[in-house]
């Protein structure tokens, strides 16, 4: 089973195909954190409403989350040219949070106003807590990595990660990502180590019924914040963590 890795340009004809595979990968099995970024239409919605909902998701990913100059989208194609996976990388030459103004927090505008939107915005703000605390230098951030279920454990993720590691070493940058407990092993094999573990579900008592409903639907959303030194693979007892005394 052969496959190839490609950088995706704005004019690429496979954007929607990429996002179809992204949805399939994160819905099978369901990774609750993914639902923070995708608002599903009601079960009773017709084909047009479902198509509009999916297109809104695609546009939000392409032009919103992954639309900045720091972004590099990739797709993985099988021998027939079908999309089987992909990734979104973000390359920062300096601390991306340094100039963030108070009040610029995520608003989750793709959710309708109300308790569900408030919950999602609060959860997403927790997603960046680890990097805001520790990633105060230039770095490469793996925002998303996905592979179709039938292609998992066949080396697709490894090839994507090897590209990122090579790029980081070329630029002399450290690397950061958030992993699910399920995917943590792949990143450890590429020289990453765990820095902190967070449940994205906001800890406060639900202020209203909508908040309580979505909190119950999504349940526990565990993320493992992981780091790879700019000098190379993490080595316990040898690698110096820049945020600790003696780091730089």
Q: Are 41 and 105 in contact (CB under 8 A)?
A: no
The predicted structure's pLDDT at residue 100: 74
The predicted structure's pLDDT at residue 182: 82
The predicted structure's pLDDT at residue 245: 61
Give the chain as a 3 state SS string.
CCEEEEECCCCCCCHHHHHHHHHHHHHCCECHHHHHCCCCCCCCCCHHHHHHHHHHHHHHHHHHHCCCCCEEEEEEEECCCCEEEEEEEEEECCCCCCCCCCCCCCCCCCCCCCHHHHHHHHHHHHHCHHHHHHCCCCEEEEEEEEECHHHCCCCHHHHHHHHHHHHHHHHCCEEEEEECCCCHHHHHCCCCEEEEEEECCCCCCCCCHHHHHHHHHHCCCEEEEEEECCCCCCCCCCCCCCCCCCCC
Residue that is written with structure tokens 């070329």 in the block = 170
The predicted structure's pLDDT at residue 156: 98
Paired tokens of 117? 């939107």
Paired tokens of 208? 């209203």
How far, in Å, CA of 117 to CA of 137, rounded?
31
Q: Are 7 and 164 in contact (CB under 8 A)?
A: no
Fold of 3-228: Aminopeptidase (3.40.630)
The predicted structure's pLDDT at residue 232: 97
Q: Are 182 and 224 in contact (CB under 8 A)?
A: no
Give bridge partners of residue 134 from the DSSP assignment.
none
Q: Is 48 left (phi over 0), alpha (psi -120 to 50) or beta?
A: alpha
The predicted structure's pLDDT at residue 248: 52
Q: Could you give the count of Cα atoms lying within 13 Å of 81 in the half-sphere of its Cβ?
A: 3
User: Residue ranges of the chain with pLDDT lower than 50?
Assistant: none
Q: Which residues contact 55 (CB under 8 A, 6 or more apart)?
A: 16
Return the closest-CA partner of residue 34 out of 61, 70, 55: 61
């Amino acid at each position: 089973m052969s496959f190839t890795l490609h950088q995706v340009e704005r004019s690429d004809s496979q954007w929607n195909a990429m996002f179809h595979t992204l949805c399939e990968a994160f819905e099978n099995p369901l990774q609750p954190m993914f639902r923070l970024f995708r608002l599903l239409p009601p079960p009773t919605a017709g084909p047009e409403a479902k198509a509009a909902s999916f297109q809104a998701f695609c546009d939000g990913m392409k032009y919103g989350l992954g639309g900045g100059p720091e972004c590099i989208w990739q797709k993985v194609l099988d021998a027939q040219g079908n999309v089987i996976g992909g990734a979104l990388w973000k390359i920062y030459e300096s601390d991306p949070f340094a100039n963030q103004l108070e009040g610029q927090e995520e608003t989750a505008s793709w959710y309708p106003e109300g308790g569900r939107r408030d919950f999602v915005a609060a959860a997403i703000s927790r997603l960046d807590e680890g990097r805001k605390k520790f990633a105060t230098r230039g770095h490469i951030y793996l925002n998303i990595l996905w592979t179709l279920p039938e292609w998992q454990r066949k080396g697709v993720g490894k090839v994507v990660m090897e590209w990122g590691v090579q790029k980081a070493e070329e630029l002399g940058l450290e690397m950061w990502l958030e992993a699910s407990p399920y995917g943590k092993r792949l990143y450890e094999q590429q020289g990453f180590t765990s820095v902190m573990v967070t449940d994205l579900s906001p800890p406060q008592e639900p202020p209203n019924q909508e908040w309580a409903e979505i909190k119950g639907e999504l349940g526990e959303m565990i993320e493992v914040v992981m780091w790879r030194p700019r000098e190379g693979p993490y080595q316990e007892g040898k690698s110096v963590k820049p945020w600790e005394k003696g780091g730089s």
